[in-house]
């Protein structure tokens, strides 16, 4: 690990990654790349930069480009700056039937941004959700910072979003 | 039939195959054509293009031939309706997003996609929607990207991982948004990067210097031998009219396989550098005048005879580039000895010649190039083989990945693209001491008889775990070698390194080998272009001066063949002074430069690489001849012809050749069988001097600076592998001298000082200063190794 990596990945992030590394054989460190990227993204409040990805690559002994490939492949990794609270409203078939469009419209109006954009203060980001989030029984639903909220109404959405700092 | 052999049937033909082979390997071996994009015999199987789908009986669907292992009794149809329908469907998918820009695509005419579209593509596209567009990336001066054309075969990605050992290209994004590239804006830095141009089956990666300069069907392919490192890679020259437009590797499994280093691929640009000398020129009253050949040769005769008559022939020194051909070097030494001078040398970046009489016939690799990949252990001494002999490094890398112990003893912590067993990075002065420690370990661990002198020599030496590992690996490996690299050859105590390396090799039952620097380093010895040996290796009665002595003796006259001494010699300062102070300098050169014009009196234009026929003998001792692919520019002439005429002009005997093959026949007859014996020819160990307290200079020659040709190859000069004219020091030394990256330092060597920029470089050991040679800023410093002083300017 280089000194730069140490300064980029916090002690906390590194210990989280280490915990996952213990679950894999010693020579298969790259198995932990997804969790490592998740921790790095978390540390940087919601998105990855080249510096963070390089640090993860160095920490896991991977080539930089291999980490870029993973980070750009998975939709849960943001490689451009976004707001620190990530809102994903499921718009797949079950949620759609239960009125997810209204929820999306409400959030867009409330935050004055479109899906795929972040608020000017860097607080919120509405993610363009691609796939079903597997909570069909509770539609319409959304995920905010990895937490599921089901059976949404516009009031409920307001409460959830207003409670975030 | 043994267990390993099975029989399969392809298109009604019964074929023999080995268990574990993939179907496509068997069809390829039997000349049965199966279309493919992603499969390449030198890369792992990706099976992602699906173009090689074939029908296999009992399989419900067509199977990819590249990823289907053969099984006994398997019945395969490559031409059936099922197979061709599958292939045609794949082709339709591949063409969905591929642009129809073949008329402006450099790959047009040699494009695998174009070829296969002829055979398998539909005449009308059913796809009416928008095609995707991918932004091009700038990945450096050598490779042009047009990524909209990419079909995602990932050959370039696999090449990086598996062959270059440096993963730079990748597939980022997913689905429709997947792109091949480097993700961040960066130049690819592999010394073998150009190979992805050949690997790319479409026009997504093409040669940048070649871009838009010819259509492939206008090119005539001729054969040649690469002129830089000592590998002797086989090449194809693509010629349009009288110009070389492009260089590509020619397959030779025993030498370069299918690969080529970037230096060998792109250096042809140097042939067409603006400063090519195209007319013979003489200096009259300090100004240069173009003259015809006859006049020029008369002037050479008159002036050279003048020096010989008023002094003696021993006042003439001849320095030649080790990338000159065998024929040129043979004639040059014949000319030199004919006029009475034995002062001839091609070992320009060497300083210690004290045991030259004991050295084998030529600096032999000690084994075959291809055999490097079956080694079990290798100790590399003073070598940056990755940049200096990239193809050999590739072979060593293969060995390392198979588990061989590659061990390193170097004065700079060079980056290696494979795991090393151990490495020891020490100041140049300590290299011999390190070797004595290894020798001691080898002696203690070996159970064979030991030379008593060697024993005495290491009596008071200690060794550490690292030395012990090196010793035990060498002793326990059946196939082991100790290799001396370019830095070892340039080391001021080369003969000590050689002796110690030889003893280590002998006692550990390993081979001893040299990684020599240039295309004809071996040929130069065999041609007799050394001061102490005749052609064929016979000892000379009258031993002349070596290159270093010639420069320090400040001779009255110098004859230069294809070399710029101030950039090519071990002591650049001595070279510059010697040239400037000489009464007469005759330069047989393909180029003119301010420096040459300053010191030379006659410039005779010689043909550059590919403009002459000739022969190179590689590091392994393989003699490879080639013919001229294009005529020389202007009035330039092949150097062998010029030397022949020069011989006639001086009325010397034995210069009646009709062709370079006549010369070759004579040299080869003199040489006989090319063989060398590295073992057992070294002098007894000498005492190693104690460590001095001075800072020590280390010199490296970056790969794209080693000869006149690549120094003028424009695109290669844009890469990182060139001299920066700075001092490289580690952080400790920088702090000690209060220097930082933005500073300029006053650098002093002997009684000469220059100001150079500072680069903090932690690959350099403590109290050492790394300088890259062949840069104009550092010429006035002096020898490549030795004490040096630095201070903030």
| Residue B113: band (very low, low, confident or very high) from pLDDT cuts 50, 70, 90 | very high
Q: Are B666 and B607 contained in the same domain?
A: yes
pLDDT(B1) > 80: no
Inside any domain, residue B385: yes
Whether B75 maps to a domain, the answer reads yes
- For residue B60, give the CATH number of its domain: 3.10.20.740
Q: Is A137 on the interface with B (CB under 8 A)?
A: no
Q: Least CA distance to B166: which residue of chain A?
A: A63
Contact B167 A69 (CB under 8 A): no
Does residue B558 register a pLDDT over 50? yes
The pLDDT confidence band at residue B404, using thresholds 50, 70 and 90, is very high
pLDDT truncated to tens, each residue of chain A (165 aa)?
Answer: 788 888 899 999 999 999 999 999 999 999 999 999 999 999 998 999 999 999 999 999 999 999 999 999 998 899 999 999 999 999 999 999 999 999 999 999 999 999 999 999 999 999 987 789 999 999 899 999 889 999 999 999 999 999 988
Residue B674 pLDDT more than 90? no
In whole angstroms, give the CA distance from residue B644 to residue B652.
Answer: 10
Same domain, B296 and B411: no
- Claim to verify: residue B378 and residue B348 sit in the same structural domain: no
Q: By residue range, what is the domain housing residue B49?
A: 5-96
Q: Which two tokens stand for residue B431?
A: 């290299």
Exposure string over B753-769, b if 16+ CB within 10 A, otherwise e? bbebbbbbbeebbebbb
Give a yes or no: residue B359 inside a domain: no
pTM for this entry: 0.93
Same domain, B662 and B739: no
Arithmetic mean of pLDDT, B94-111: 94
Taken in order of first residue, the domains within chain A and their CATH numbers are: 3-73 (1.10.10), 85-162 (3.40.30.10)
Q: List chain B residues with CB under 8 Å of A64.
A: 183-184
Looking at B272, B297, B324, the residue that finishes a domain is: B272
Please indicate, yes or no, if residue B217 is contained in any of the structural domains: yes
B387, B508: one domain: yes
Q: Output the pLDDT for position B2.
A: 56
**Parallel, antiparallel or unpaired: strands B557-561 and B316-320:** parallel
Contact between A69 and B168 using a beta-carbon 8 Å cutoff: no
Contact B113, B202 (CB under 8 A): yes
In total, how many domains does chain B have?
A: 5
Nearest Cα of chain B lies from the Cα of A2 at a distance, in angstroms, of 13
Q: What is the mean pLDDT of residues B99-112?
A: 94
**Helix, strand or coil for residue B247?**
strand
pLDDT for B235: 97
Bridge partners (DSSP) listed for residue B604: B588
Residue that is last in its domain, among B514, B532, B548: B514
- Which of A51, A6, A62, A5 is CA-nearest to residue A29? A62
Yes or no, beta carbons of B170 and A73 under 8 Å apart: no
Whether the Cβ atoms of residue B245 and residue B181 lie closer than 8 Å to each other: no
Mean pLDDT computed over B12-37 = 95
Residue B532 has pLDDT above 50, yes or no: yes
**Phi, psi at B248, each rounded to 5°:** -135, 155
Quick one: average pLDDT of B122-137? 90
The verdict on residue B447 lying in a domain is yes
- Name the A residues in 92-121 with CB < 8 Å from any B CB: none
For residues B658 and B738, membership in a common domain is answered with no
Residues B441 and B377 in one domain: yes
Domain boundary among B206, B239, B272: B272
pLDDT tens digit string along B406-439? 999 999 999 999 999 999 999 999 999 999 999 9
Q: Could you tell me if B189 and B291 lie in one domain?
A: no
Q: Token pair of A13, please?
A: 């992030």
Mean pLDDT of B367-379: 97
* Host H or E run for residue B291: none
Residues forming beta bridges with residue B6, ordered by sequence position: B17
* Same-domain check for residues B299 and B217: no
- State the ipTM, two decimals: 0.87
| CATH for B200 | 3.30.70.20
Looking at beta carbons, which pairs linking A3-12 to residues 24 or more positions away fall under 8 Å?
A4/A55, A4/A58, A5/A54, A5/A55, A5/A58, A5/A59, A8/A51, A8/A52, A8/A55, A9/A40, A9/A43, A9/A52, A9/A55, A9/A56, A9/A59, A10/A43, A12/A43
- What is the arithmetic mean of pLDDT over B78-93? 95
DSSP string, B603-660: EEEB--TTSS-EEEE-TT--EEEE--SSPPSTT-B-HHHHHHHHHHHTT-SS---SSH
Instruction: With respect to residue B102, please indicate whether it lies within any of the assigned structural domains.
Output: no
Residues of chain B with pLDDT > 70, as a percent, come to: 99
In A, residues 58-77, which contact B (CB 8 Å cutoff)?
63-66, 68-69, 72-73
B157 — pLDDT class (breaks 50, 70, 90): very high
List Cβ neighbours of B207 (8 Å cut-off, separation of 6 or more): B106, B142, B143, B144, B194, B197, B246, B266
Residues of A in contact with B171 (CB under 8 A): 69
- Do B184 and A68 lie within an 8 Å CB cutoff? yes
Minimal-distance CA residue of chain B relative to A50: B184
Contact, B266 vs B715, CB < 8 A? yes
Number of alpha carbons in the 13 Å side-chain half-sphere of residue B308:
17
Q: Is residue B451 part of a domain?
A: yes
If asked whether residues B53 and B195 sit together in one domain, one would say: no
CA distance B10 to B30: 10
How close A71 gets to chain B, by Cα (Å)? 8
pLDDT surpasses 50 at B605 = yes
Identify the pLDDT of residue B455: 83
- Do B237 and B293 sit in the same domain of this protein? no
Distance from CA of B726 to the nearest CA of A (A): 25
Contact A65 B169 (CB under 8 A): yes
CATH of the domain at B648: 3.40.50.740
- Asked whether the predicted pLDDT for residue B324 surpasses 80, the reply is yes
Would residue B103 count as lying in a domain? no
Task: Say if residue B545 is in the same domain as residue B629.
Answer: yes
User: Does an H or E element contain B266, and which?
Assistant: helix B262-266
pLDDT score for A76: 87
Contact B249, B198 (CB under 8 A): yes
């Amino acid at each position: 690990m280089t000194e730069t990596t140490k300064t980029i990945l916090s002690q906390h992030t590194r210990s989280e990654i280490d915990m996952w590394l213990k679950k894999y054989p010693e020579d298969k460190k790259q198995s932990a790349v997804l969790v490592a990227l998740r921790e790095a993204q978390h540390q940087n409040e919601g998105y990855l930069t080249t510096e963070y990805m390089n640090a993860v690559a160095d920490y896991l002994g991977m080539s930089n480009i291999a980490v870029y490939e993973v980070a750009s492949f998975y939709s849960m990794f943001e490689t451009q700056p976004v707001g620190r609270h990530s809102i994903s409203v499921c718009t797949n078939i079950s949620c759609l039937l239960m009125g997810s469009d209204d929820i999306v419209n409400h959030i867009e109006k409330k935050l004055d941004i479109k899906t795929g954009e972040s608020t000017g203060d860097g607080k919120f980001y509405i993610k363009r959700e691609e796939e079903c989030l597997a909570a069909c029984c509770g539609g319409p639903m959304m995920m905010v910072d990895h937490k599921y909220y089901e059976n949404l109404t516009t009031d409920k959405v307001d409460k959830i979003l207003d409670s975030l700092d | 039939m043994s267990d390993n052999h099975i029989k399969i049937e392809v298109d009604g033909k019964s074929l023999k195959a080995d268990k574990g082979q993939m179907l496509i390997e068997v069809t390829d071996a039997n000349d049965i054509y199966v279309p493919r994009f992603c499969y390449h015999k030198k890369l792992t199987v990706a099976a992602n293009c699906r173009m090689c789908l074939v029908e296999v009986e009992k399989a419900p669907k067509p199977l990819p031939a590249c990823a289907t292992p053969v099984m006994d009794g398997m019945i395969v149809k490559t031409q059936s309706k099922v197979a061709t329908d599958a292939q045609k469907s794949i082709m339709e998918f591949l063409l969905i997003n591929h642009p129809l820009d073949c008329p402006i695509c450099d790959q047009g005419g040699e494009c695998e996609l174009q070829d296969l579209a002829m055979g398998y593509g539909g005449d009308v596209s059913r796809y009416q929607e928008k095609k995707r567009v991918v932004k091009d990336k700038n990945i450096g001066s050598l490779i042009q990207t047009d990524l909209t054309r990419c079909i995602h075969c990932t050959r370039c990605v696999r090449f990086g991982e598996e062959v270059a050992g440096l993963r730079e290209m990748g597939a980022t994004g997913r689905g429709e948004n997947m792109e091949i590239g480097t993700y961040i804006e960066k130049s690819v830095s592999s010394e073998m990067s150009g190979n992805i141009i050949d690997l790319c089956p479409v026009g997504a990666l093409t040669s940048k210097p070649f871009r838009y300069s010819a259509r492939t069907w206008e090119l005539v392919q001729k054969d040649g031998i690469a002129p830089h490192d000592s590998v002797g890679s086989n090449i194809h020259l693509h010629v349009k009219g009288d110009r070389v437009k492009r260089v590509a590797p020619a397959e030779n499994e025993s030498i370069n396989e299918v690969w080529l280093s970037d230096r060998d691929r792109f250096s042809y640009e140097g042939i067409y550098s603006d400063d090519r000398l195209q007319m013979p020129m003489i200096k009259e009253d300090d100004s240069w005048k173009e003259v015809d050949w006859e006049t020029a040769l008369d002037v050479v005769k008159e002036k050279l005879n003048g020096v010989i008559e008023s002094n003696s022939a021993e006042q003439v020194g001849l320095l030649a580039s080790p990338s000159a051909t065998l024929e040129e070097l043979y004639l040059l030494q014949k000319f030199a000895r004919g006029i009475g001078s034995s002062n001839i040398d091609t070992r320009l970046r060497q300083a210690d010649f004290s045991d030259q009489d004991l050295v084998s016939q030529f600096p032999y690799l000690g084994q075959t190039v291809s055999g490097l990949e079956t080694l079990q252990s290798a100790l590399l001494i003073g070598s940056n083989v990755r940049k200096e002999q990239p193809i050999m490094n590739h072979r060593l890398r293969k060995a390392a990945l198979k588990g061989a112990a590659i061990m390193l003893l170097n004065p700079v912590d060079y980056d290696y693209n494979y795991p090393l067993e151990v490495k020891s990075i020490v100041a140049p002065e300590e290299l011999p001491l390190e070797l004595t420690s290894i020798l001691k370990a080898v002696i203690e661990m070996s159970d064979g008889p030991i030379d008593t002198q060697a024993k005495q020599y290491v009596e008071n030496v200690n060794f550490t775990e690292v030395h012990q590992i090196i010793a035990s690996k060498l002793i326990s490996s059946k196939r082991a070698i100790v290799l001396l690299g370019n830095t070892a050859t340039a080391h001021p105590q080369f003969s000590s390194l050689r002796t110690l390396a030889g003893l280590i090799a002998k006692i550990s039952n390993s081979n001893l080998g040299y990684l020599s620097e240039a295309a004809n380093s071996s040929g130069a010895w065999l041609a007799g272009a050394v001061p102490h040996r005749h052609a064929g290796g016979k000892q000379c009665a009258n031993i002349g001066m070596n290159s270093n002595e010639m420069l320090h003796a400040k001779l009255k006259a110098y004859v230069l063949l294809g070399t710029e001494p101030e950039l090519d010699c071990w002591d650049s300062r001595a070279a510059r002074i010697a040239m400037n102070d000489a009464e007469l300098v005759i330069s047989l050169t393909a180029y003119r430069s301010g420096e040459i014009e300053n010191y030379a009196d006659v410039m005779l234009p010689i043909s550059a690489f590919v403009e002459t026929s000739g022969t190179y003998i590689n590091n392994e001792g393989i003699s490879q001849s080639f013919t001229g692919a294009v005529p020389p520019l202007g009035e330039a002439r092949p150097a062998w012809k010029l030397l022949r005429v020069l011989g006639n002009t001086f009325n010397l005997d034995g210069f009646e050749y009709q062709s370079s093959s006549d010369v070759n026949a004579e040299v080869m007859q003199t040489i006989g069988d090319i063989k060398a014996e590295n073992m057992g020819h070294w002098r007894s160990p000498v005492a190693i001097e104690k460590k001095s307290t001075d800072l020590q200079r280390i010199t490296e020659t970056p790969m794209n600076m080693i000869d006149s040709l690549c120094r003028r190859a424009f695109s290669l000069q844009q890469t990182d592998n060139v001299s920066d004219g700075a001092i490289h020091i580690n952080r400790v030394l920088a702090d000690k001298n209060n220097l930082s990256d933005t500073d300029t330092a006053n650098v002093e060597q002997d009684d000469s000082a220059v100001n150079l920029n500072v680069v903090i470089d932690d690959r350099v050991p403590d109290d050492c200063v790394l300088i890259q040679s062949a840069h104009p800023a550092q010429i006035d410093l002096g020898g490549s190794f030795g004490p040096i002083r630095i201070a903030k300017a």
